[in-house]
Structure 1
Amino acid sequence: MIEHYKAARAELTAPGAQFALTRTNVRGVDILTFAAAPPHMRVLWELSAGHGDKDYIVYEDERYTFNEIHAQVRKLAAYLVAHGAHRGTRVALAMRNYPEWVVGYWATVSIGAAVVGMNAWWTAPEMEYALNDSDPVVFIGDDERLERLSQVPERPGMHVIAVRSDRPLPANSATWSDVMSTTDPGSLPNVDIDPDDDATIFYTSGTTGFPKGAQLTHRGSVTNILNIVAMTSTVALAEQKAIAAGDVEAPTSVPAPRPPVFFAPTPLFHVTACNCILHPATLSGATLVMMYKWDPGRALELIEREKVTTFSGVPTMSREMLNHPDWSKRDTSSVQGMGGGGAAVQPDLVKKIAG
């Protein structure tokens, strides 16, 4: 099978092919890049507008279409620019996996500012450290994170947007409702974005010292998405070649295609959920399912209700679902793939998933 994979990869990355490769000088370093890669994440976000009235975000019992989220992104992008966010600045996102996180993400990268993914589990001192380190001009946070922010020395130059919170706010603040009550500008602000500008800053866990902000550029983020698509396409083509060569038996039946529905159970402030789930879901027009907090029973309920096709979390999550008493009671037949990151997937878990 490996020879068919190599042949498929060579075919798909050849000059003029869908995933043709080229050499690009990036800040003095010659690297391999996709020849037809979009220059930055804003282009990918604008492409997703073509998905229109398809469901984009399902959060618990809330539903939002691509059109609805695009309208929210346009409003927030204009608001951020009016409050000092622009290319070279940073916007902090500090909240659970709420739909507002997704809106904040796309609005920020679309104006050339960098998203600072604040760890939602941080204590007030840890939050203070990251704010001093990243120096965001805008902080978008939910009620729990705002409570911790209140314990941090005031940052006069930082504008605060409160998400799903009724707590009293300082003068330089607004509620999410305030932002969403503004007029839809109909388009994103005109900005220049360099492929090698920072798109996101995600922090390490800081187990041996202070957390370190890992900077991901637009080029790197776009390349990651294309790597995922290229890998999937290569595997599919390799299978076709193996069947044609008689090395693999053709399937006797092909299941009817299902609308793609991705489950994002891990925090969006890490690359697994953001770069490896949110990004591909957005580009492909998939529905993204999110939940208030991890609960295997609730996850199984959402998988059945939303007909989830792709689940990707840490291996422990898959094991907890497989061992849950509701596993045999819930219809999980829609699931076509279960993946994981953050830890090795144990061999026995692979067998259980395959079985």
Structure 2
Amino acid sequence: MSDSLATFLVDSAARDPDHPALQLDDFVMTYAELDVATQHVAGMLSAKGIGPGDRVGVMLPNVPHFAIAYYGILRAGGVVVPMNVLLKGRETAFYLKDPGAKAVFAWADFAEAAQTGAEEAGAECIVVDPAGFRELVASFPAEAATPVERAGDDTAVILYTSGTTGTPKGAELTHDNMRRNALAAVGLFGVGSDAVVLGALPLFHSFGQTCGLNATMAGGGVLTLIPRFEPGKALEIIQRDKVNVFEGVPTMYGAMLNHPDAGSFDTSTLKVCASGGASMPVELMKGFEEQFNCKILEGYGLSETSPVASFNHPDKERKAGSIGTPIEGVEMRVVDDGGEPVAAGEVGEIAIKGHNVMKGYWGRPDATAETMKDGWFLTGDMAKIDEDGYFFIVDRKKDLIIRGGYNVYPREIEEVLYEHPAVREAAVVAMPHPDLGEEVGAAVALKDGAEATEEELQGFVKDQVAAYKYPRLVWFVDELPKGPTGKILKREIEVPAAK
């Protein structure tokens, strides 16, 4: 029996073929239909010479085609490289070139950037449009009725992530990593055949992929999709489809709570709400629970940990403001700079060990060695543990900006700013934001005699990176603060009062 992640779909299809697997408004796809569609995708990839171990990009929004491509690639023994649909050409080229991807499935509405990147990376771009894709896939024979044999420690997915320096790194997640993490989510959130899970989290993101897609397919429930999150639409779908499991980032909860018609929707079916991706403000949690009469469980994880590492468990005490305790089979501790555990109540860095920890960073043994010490993954997140073993995050070691649950890496934005002919120096920093958690700010020093406006620089960056990344706030300085070696000291950057 294969250890392939695709067996979740195969097993659920065998168990209850006519049960709905995916829904998008009026469109419903059963497990049998999804199973067959992925067999045809495996046939298509085989015809293109793509097989076990080959990397294939998936640049699709939250539509049924994401699952069709995802499990089709896995079924053929390939490795999925999920990509944000908002990426621009220069970004897609990197995401395809770095892992040596042979092809990418790209949504028609965003195909231009994918085609530009694929051309540069030497990969084939398979355009997915609702009308023609079904016929295209059906023209290839169904293959891999039983998923191609893969070992548990073979790579299933490469999820790109990054610290604050250099280019993004691809976290290699194995079939065992992904399977066991999804099964942990099944247990945490009670995902069975009666589960109706709201697929509002992006499926290219580890949280949406593991806890949304894979957990639902493993449990045999239905995933009802929202291609682009909008609070009113989410509330409408909860009412319409009788959603009982909702997973989201804090900004989603805030948007739903603050929707002008929040009280007019019937959300009484909601049983479990899970929050991750960023810290959940305690007041927001209280307000949401009062309004919608449900319990929010907050957890923690990273792309490198598949992602779930800890959670407030439904059968244990929940502590507001805490990321809970480690999931089964996972160890977490808080360590000092020497890697030694600190006492309860003291602040240190979270280290994680267990079945959820990645194999390593794709092609980056140096970066892997920096973060993996004796089997422990060093997260860069600072936390403390209370006397009951509950973890509380206090700060980030890295300069990573989390804007509305999305990671923004300052170095990447700085690189683009430096390409502007008027820019001498730039530093991108996080700024507090009441709704998004953090906003992207940029302090810029111009070259002597050069001129540029805030709007010009914003537009320049916006043209080259995904829309959530560009700095909403730009201000000009004569000089950026520096240390003795000439390194820019971000902690000493002063934000003008007007900003």
Interval of TM-score (by shorter of Structure 1 and Structure 2): 0.7 to 0.9
Q: 1:157 to 1:132 in 2, by over 3 A?
A: closer
Q: 1:136 to 1:189 in 2, by over 3 A?
A: farther
Match of 2:75 in 1: 110
How far the C-alpha of 1:321 sits from its partner, in A, is: 0.5
Q: 2 CA distance for matches of 1:202 and 1:141?
A: 17
Match of 1:98 in 2: 63
Q: 1:214 to 1:187 in 2, by over 3 A?
A: closer
Match of 2:107 in 1: 142
After the TM superposition, which residues 156-171 of structure 1 pair with which residues of structure 2 at under 5 Å, given as runs?
158-164=123-129
Matched, 1:196 2:131: no
Q: Counterpart of 1:71 in structure 2: which amino acid? A: V
Q: Counterpart of 2:11 in structure 1: which amino acid? A: L
Q: Tell me if structure 1 keeps the 8 A contact 2:43–2:143.
A: no
What secondary structure is seen at the aligned counterpart in 2 of 1:88? coil
Q: 1:206 to 1:229 in 2, by over 3 A?
A: same
Q: 1:205 to 1:325 in 2, by over 3 A?
A: farther
Matched, 1:53 2:24: no
Q: Tell me if structure 1 keeps the 8 A contact 2:186–2:218.
A: no
- Give the counterpart of 2:136 among 179, 182, 191: 179
How far the C-alpha of 1:269 sits from its partner, in A, is: 0.9
Match of 1:349 in 2: 284
Q: 2 CA distance for matches of 1:53 and 1:310?
A: 21
How far the C-alpha of 1:111 sits from its partner, in A, is: 1.8
More helix per residue? 1
What secondary structure is seen at the aligned counterpart in 2 of 1:154? helix
Q: 2 CA distance for matches of 1:230 and 1:331?
A: 26
TM-score, structure 2 length as denominator? 0.54
Matched, 1:228 2:185: yes
TM-score, structure 1 length as denominator? 0.75
Structure 1: 5+ residue stretches without partners: 1-36, 167-174, 234-256
Q: 2 CA distance for matches of 1:147 and 1:112?
A: 28
What secondary structure is seen at the aligned counterpart in 2 of 1:41? coil
Q: 2 CA distance for matches of 1:192 and 1:134?
A: 22
What secondary structure is seen at the aligned counterpart in 1 of 2:185? helix
How far the C-alpha of 1:232 sits from its partner, in A, is: 5.9
Q: 1:259 to 1:141 in 2, by over 3 A?
A: same
How far the C-alpha of 1:110 sits from its partner, in A, is: 1.6
- How many residue pairs match? The answer is 288
Q: 2 CA distance for matches of 1:221 and 1:62?
A: 28
How far the C-alpha of 1:153 sits from its partner, in A, is: 6.7
Q: 2 CA distance for matches of 1:64 and 1:349?
A: 35
Q: 2 CA distance for matches of 1:296 and 1:154?
A: 37
Structure 2: 5+ residue stretches without partners: 291-499
- Give the counterpart of 1:67 among 21, 28, 32: 32
Match of 1:79 in 2: 44
What secondary structure is seen at the aligned counterpart in 2 of 1:289? strand
More strand per residue? 2
Higher relative contact order (CA closer than 8 Å, sequence separation 6+): 1
Match of 1:242 in 2: none
Q: Counterpart of 2:248 in structure 1: which amino acid? A: G
Moved over 6 A (4+): none
Q: 2 CA distance for matches of 1:153 and 1:223?
A: 32
Q: CA RMSD in A?
A: 2.5
